[in-house]
Amino acid sequence: MPARFIHPIRTVAIFLVLPVPSLFPLRRRPAQICGSTMVVNINWELQGCCRHNQVVFIAAVGVSTVVILALWRTFLLTPFKLITVFLHETSHALACKLTCGDVEGMQVHANEGGVTQTRGGIYWIILPAGYLGSSFWGMVFILSSTNLLATRIASGCFILALVIVLFVAKNWFLRWLCIGFIIFIAVVWVIQEFTTVHALKYVILFIGVMNSLFSVYDIYDDTISRRVNSSDAEKFAEICPCPCNGVGWGVIWGFISFIFLCASIYLGLVILS
């Protein structure tokens, strides 16, 4: 039988949305059976868009974006900015552990700064994991908001991560931040389970959009507008100078982060189609 070419981008997307069908129940067009192989036709072209749930999803992403940009320099967004910094530092820690290193501690500060102390591991993987990992978690949260079960699982994993960080945090500010968000997510979850107010998915979606936007802004602020010599991009340029300097790596990472945001919206519409 002649080999068939499989589009690489669509292959990656299939692995993102198909492994747990109960989490992301795609509405499929009728399956076609060819010999002993069943081909599942997913609505990649978004034919028939946009249904009511897709319109609500797009509107929720749009409203979240407008609210975040409008309140960017106000204290109201500070807790969500800090939790984004937390996920940035968590991504550094995960990259360190996955490359056989040790995490000695994590800190998040009130000025929206953070640091993760690591020993060992692969440094050129650990460094970009902060910015790109934050964008990845934003994508995960946005996609999780498209389904109730996935929203519950994402919320549970998020609370578990906050509890774990309580034991590795090196400053009390990070500990109180974790405790505050544990209580906040738990209260919203309880309200959803026992009332008709289903706000949990919108909270998860908002955190996802916040992560995606903050990652792009953080890359711009640290590497382009202010050129912070201690930024991850500048450090990465020192150990991997080709093909560009810290600003160049910041632009590349920012572009990748923007792709994550666009991909999350597209895949969310596919899941809801």
- 127-158 pLDDT, tens digit each: 999 889 989 999 999 999 999 999 999 999 99
Least confident segment among 10-19, 31-40, 48-57, 193-202: 10-19
Mean pLDDT of 155-173: 88
39 — phi, psi (to 5°)? Answer: -100, 120
Q: Which residues contact 221 (CB under 8 A, 6 or more apart)?
A: none
Question: Residue 253: pLDDT above 70?
Answer: yes
Question: Residue 228: pLDDT above 90?
Answer: no
Q: Is the pTM of this model over 0.85?
A: no
| Distance separating alpha carbons of residues 20 and 40, to the nearest angstrom | 15
| Distance separating alpha carbons of residues 233 and 91, to the nearest angstrom | 15
Residues facing residue 107 across a β-bridge: 115
